[in-house]
Amino acid sequence: MAQHTSLYQKHLDSGAKMVDFAGWDMPINYGSQIEEHNLVRNQAGIFDVSHMTVVDVSGSEALEFLRYLLANDVAKLDEVGRALYSGMLNETGGVVDDLIVYRMSFGYRVVVNCATRDKDLAWIQSHAADFDVSIEEQPQLAILAVHGPEAIEKVCSILTRDRAAISKELKNFRGFESGSWFITRTGYTGEKGLELILPSIEAPGIWDKLLAVGVKPVGLGARDTLRLEAGMNLYGHDMDETTSPIAANMEQTIAWQPEDREFIGRQAVTDHLAEIQAGTMPILTGLVLEQRGVLREGQKVLCENGEGVITSGSFSPTLKHSIALARIPVDSGTCQVDIRGTLTNVRLVKPNFVRFGKKVFE
């Protein structure tokens, strides 16, 4: 029996095409994925991402625990409300999951992927035993992500006066608690916006209010092309437990300083760094195909000094040609992709294609 978020009926009311996503019935689109994508780039769209897993961490050693559990350093969160993106690594330096951690008044809130929920909770619990911490999943919470150039203004127009006043002034990667709500300037699209983490029971009413002020529902299909244009990784595709964060464009999310901070996988990723310098570990890069054709996950990339693979690929609705993330040998000069038997030249670019509606690579 598939799981439903509190907005299931709202999705059906908006004409959603529902698909199975890791055991949840979720909207893939409400008609046209490309129109929904463009709405987020040009106006404002709302995603139901309540299927994602929220885990609250509290207790006297919550900070010490998360500094050990995560590759990024939670000590950087010097104020309540601040957010940090991090990988959670295993001992061999593979990525157990990628996540966002927020500093909260009670400790920390971690949001992990839905498809990895069970193994993540087991992993977190297994390491929590040595610390004075309490780990509590929050399945009663919904997450509404509203993104696009008009998103913040639209959300503020339906919030209480107090919440709107604070939300308007929030800087990127910052949030605030208000009663049982948490409102934060984070997202997965490359556009400005807010994420509302709130009790599920309140989500349908807020959804209706946002639709009434012209925010349009956006499905998981467009969420994928938006994050790909923004050069953001998708767990299980661009990296997994067998991939080093160093080979997944996540080096910047590893906090190497202070040197005496022990975190799971530290030794392994330190070794990986040396392997990158020696040219024996691949990198995750961006590919651009400006002619006809679509790059797809799994296609082979043939480079001068070896072979790579596309980890995520699609048509970019903003750029109107295909883009991809690919893991290829370092210092690859020119590359070709095997598209259905035809070797096609592609251009290598930094893995970041679109920000705030505009092309960002040369």
CB atoms within 10 A of CB 235: 21
Q: Which of 11, 5, 182 is nearest to 80 (CA)?
A: 182
Closest approach, Cβ 19 to other proteins, in A, equals: 11
Closest approach, Cβ 292 to other proteins, in A, equals: 5
Query: And the tokens for 240?
Result: 């997994």
Q: What angle do CA 357, 28, 181 make, to 5 degrees?
A: 75
DSSP one-letter code for 93? S
292: contact with other proteins by CB under 8 A: yes
Q: Which residues 26-45 are close enough to bind other proteins by CB under 8 A?
A: 29, 32-34
Burial degree of 156 (CB within 10 A; 0-12, 13-18, 19+):
middle
CB atoms within 10 A of CB 312: 23
**In this structure, which amino acid lies at residue 217?**
P
225: contact with other proteins by CB under 8 A: yes
Of 123, 181, 315, 353, the one binding other proteins by CB under 8 A: 315
| Between 73 and 224, CB nearer to other proteins | 224
Contact present, 302 and 338 (Cβ < 8 Å): yes
Of 22, 170, 276, 294, the one binding other proteins by CB under 8 A: 294
167: contact with other proteins by CB under 8 A: no
Give the list of residues 6+ apart from residue 320 with CB closer than 8 angstroms, or none.
none
Of 296, 300, 347, 355, the one binding other proteins by CB under 8 A: 296
**In this structure, which amino acid lies at residue 46?**
I
| Between 245 and 317, CB nearer to other proteins | 317
Closest approach, Cβ 319 to other proteins, in A, equals: 11
319: contact with other proteins by CB under 8 A: no
Of 244, 314, 318, 332, the one binding other proteins by CB under 8 A: 314
Closest approach, Cβ 358 to other proteins, in A, equals: 21
| Between 94 and 317, CB nearer to other proteins | 317
341: contact with other proteins by CB under 8 A: no
| Between 149 and 293, CB nearer to other proteins | 293
Window of 150-158, 166-174, 186-194, 292-300 that interacts with other proteins by CB under 8 A: 292-300
| Between 171 and 340, CB nearer to other proteins | 340
Residue with token string 């001992």: 91
233: contact with other proteins by CB under 8 A: no
Of 340, 341, 358, 362, the one binding other proteins by CB under 8 A: 340
Of 217, 221, 231, 265, the one binding other proteins by CB under 8 A: 221
| Between 80 and 309, CB nearer to other proteins | 309
Query: Distance between CA atoms of 82 and 184, rounded to whole angstroms?
Result: 9
Give the list of residues 6+ apart from residue 116 with CB closer than 8 angstroms, or none.
53, 96, 97, 235, 236
116: contact with other proteins by CB under 8 A: no
Query: Distance between CA atoms of 241 and 219, rounded to whole angstroms?
Result: 27
Reduced 3-state DSSP string for 296-362? CCCCEEEECCEEEEEEEEEEECCCCEEEEEEEECCCCCCEEEEECCEEEEEEEECCCCEECCEECCC
- β-strand pairing of 216-217 with 45-48: parallel
Closest approach, Cβ 295 to other proteins, in A, equals: 10
Q: Which residues bind other proteins (CB under 8 A)?
A: 29, 32-34, 221, 225, 292-294, 296, 314-315, 317, 340
